[in-house]
Structure 1
Amino acid sequence: MSNDPTESGTSREVALASATVRYHDLGEGHPIVLLHGSGPGATAWSNFRPNIPELACRFRVLALDLPGWGGSQAVPMAERDHPRTVVEFLDALGIEKAALVGNSMGGVVSLAVAALHPDRVSHLITMGPASKPRPGLFGPGGGPSEGMKILFAGYQDPSQETMRRLVDIMSYSSGDAADGIAAERAAAAQGRPDHLKHFLEGLATGSTPITRWATPQELMGITAPSLLIHGRDDRVVHFEASLELVSLIPDSRLVLFNRCGHWAQLEHAAEFNRLVTDFVSNN
């Protein structure tokens, strides 16, 4: 695009029944809704910064902050229903059907929307989602994965130092941008103490950030063409989760990136953008 879009310049707000949410709106064409992952300081803009302007060259890109994150309303964890919020969001904007692109938690939400509301989803694209709730929180044994441990630490101590550890664990190689990303995440987390409070209170009472998962039977009923993307070196959610998903979703294919962690859309942005553009344009 001729001018680089900014976070503030693309920011919009809409009041839904479940919450008032912030989103970014850019481009024209078939709508693509981008759904971010969990974690302290996570926002749609930070999760998809290099993807939004490129995808907006071909599509209408809507990057949504889910309730409890970013600029959206603070909602206690147990009261969230993200799939319902996504459908409310589409209704509010007058969108009959959209492609959903979800990273991690956003991928789980996308799977649930595609399973429960097949008439609203034209294409399904996920990056690094868990395939089902696990007592071990995505770790290979009885405890949280390496990445989830750092994610929890960030809610308790949202300092730039902790966020730098988070960026390192989320990425195969965090590179020169790591300090900038860590500073941005720390500022976003510290700026919304209500989000941090609700997350920690939810965990203490047994709630989780994802309250509605698609069951294996529901996953088998997904009709949207589905592109599953995962990093082979993901230390938050092992790539075996996407192997399970591709075995369940009928019209699906899996792209496994080598030298890639939990943020495929950031670490392999150019290839990710080409994959998504081709998939939505030709399926």
Structure 2
Amino acid sequence: MNGEVEDGRGKTVQALDLATNYHDMGDGFPVVLLHGSGPGVSAWTNWKRVMPALADSFRVIAPDLAGFGYTERNPELHYDIKLWSKHLIAILDALGLEKVNLVGNSFGGSLSLAAAARFPERFNRIVLMGTPCDKFTMTPGLRAGWNYTPSRENMREAMQHFPFDPACITDELVEDRYQASLIPGAQEGLRKLLVKPNDEGETPLSGMPVAVVGNVVHPTLVLHGREDMVIPVEMGILLARSMPNAELHMFGRCGHWVQAERFDAFIRLAKAHFGAAA
């Protein structure tokens, strides 16, 4: 991939005063892939199989967002959705991209919605996967991510919550995400994204409010696994009901990793959704 090495280091662009790691493949209308959260997450671990599959039709850009992967960390920054939205726009500006399509996975889906609501003119079409909406309670999968401490065994255990079929958790994937979790500041960044779980009882969480997503008018494809144990499928249904130009595709026997568990269908659906705009 353009000389990139297998640890996930790609190119670097200065955005929001951060040396931002990103991957860039293909030609055509730009598609920006926004990774999720979780132990060892990065653009590379989230999208390394997807990028070349989309790059035959589009220019595909996948950044490590502030606090994640190999992007520079600034301990003085306060991580919140406003900062991540500004970082995303700064990346687009630095790369000279006036308007892009978005694919957002989980946390990346929340960021897609926040950015599209605040900067609607910068985005064309959106694909959301496993994206939270409005209020819900912390799931065991999110709790496991917050509690993770780096080891291969702990990584494999934490990842058990993500797919429907545990066969998706390959040794290669465990190693990729374990190595990414060793990047200095990686787990601290994740814990700034999620609230600390309550010792007893439920831990309330909030995705993007219905009042916000209801104003996102971009044509949107909502993808969700029926057996998602990280972000309940009811969140995807609520998104599709709340957004004026959304369509929902629910995958049976599928967990939180639609792009991995239903790879061929995901690529086909994303290309079809973006094709009319390309």
Q: Bin the TM-score by the shorter chain.
A: 0.7 to 0.9
Distance 1:50 1:201, change over 3 A: closer
Partner Cα separation in structure 2 for residue 204 and residue 249 of structure 1: 26
Classify 1:226/1:200 alpha carbon distance in 2 versus 1 (closer, same or farther; 3 Å). Answer: closer
CA separation of 1:34 and 1:168: change in aligned 2, threshold 3 A = same
CA distance in 2, matches of 1:29, 1:204: 39
* Deviation, structure 1 residue 189: 0.7
Equivalent in the alignment of 2:174: 182
Q: Quick one: distance in 1 between partners of 2:74 and 2:224?
A: 29
Matched, 1:124 2:123: no
Within 1, Cα distance between the matches of 2:168 and 2:193?
Answer: 35
Q: Secondary structure at the match of 2:78?
A: helix
Q: CA deviation at 1:78?
A: 2.7
Deviations 1:123-157 (A, max 9, x none): 0111001113x4xxx43xxxx21101211122xx1
User: Contact 2:168 / 2:260 at 8 angstroms: preserved in 1?
Assistant: no
Relative to 1, partners in 2 of residues 1:203 and 1:35: Cα closer, same or farther, differing over 3 Å?
Answer: closer
Q: Which position in structure 2 is the counterpart of 1:47?
A: 46
Question: 1:20: Cα distance to partner?
Answer: 2.1
Do the aligned residues in 2 keep the contact of 1:226 with 1:253 (CA within 8 Å)? yes
- The answer to whether 1:229 aligns with 2:229 is no
TM-score normalised according to structure 1 size: 0.86
What pairs up with 1:113-152 in 2 under 5 angstroms? 113-132=115-134, 134=135, 138-139=136-137, 144-152=138-146
The match for 1:278 among 256, 272, 277 is 272
What residue is the counterpart of 1:193 in the other structure? 184
Q: Map of 1:1-283 to 2, 5 A cutoff?
A: 7-8=4-5, 11-76=10-75, 78-80=78-80, 81-132=83-134, 134=135, 138-139=136-137, 144-154=138-148, 157-175=149-167, 177-190=169-182, 192-200=183-191, 214-282=208-276
RMSD: 2.3
- TM-score, with normalisation over the residues of structure 2? 0.88
Deviation at 1:119, TM superposition (A): 0.5
How many pairs align? 264
Return the alpha-carbon distance in structure 2 between the equivalents of residues 51 and 199 of structure 1. 23
Cα deviation 1:179-207 (Å, max 9, x = unaligned)? 221121111111x132223444776889x
What is the identity percentage for the equivalent residue pairs of Structure 1 and Structure 2? 34
Deviations 1:38-65 (A, max 9, x none): 1121011111122110100000000111
Paired letter, 2:163: S
Contact 1:7 1:45 in 2 (8 A): no
Gaps of 5+ in 1: 207-211
Mapped to 2, the partners of 1:25 and 1:170 lie a distance apart of: 27
Q: Report the CA distance shift for 1:227/1:189 in structure 2 as closer, same or farther (over 3 A).
A: same
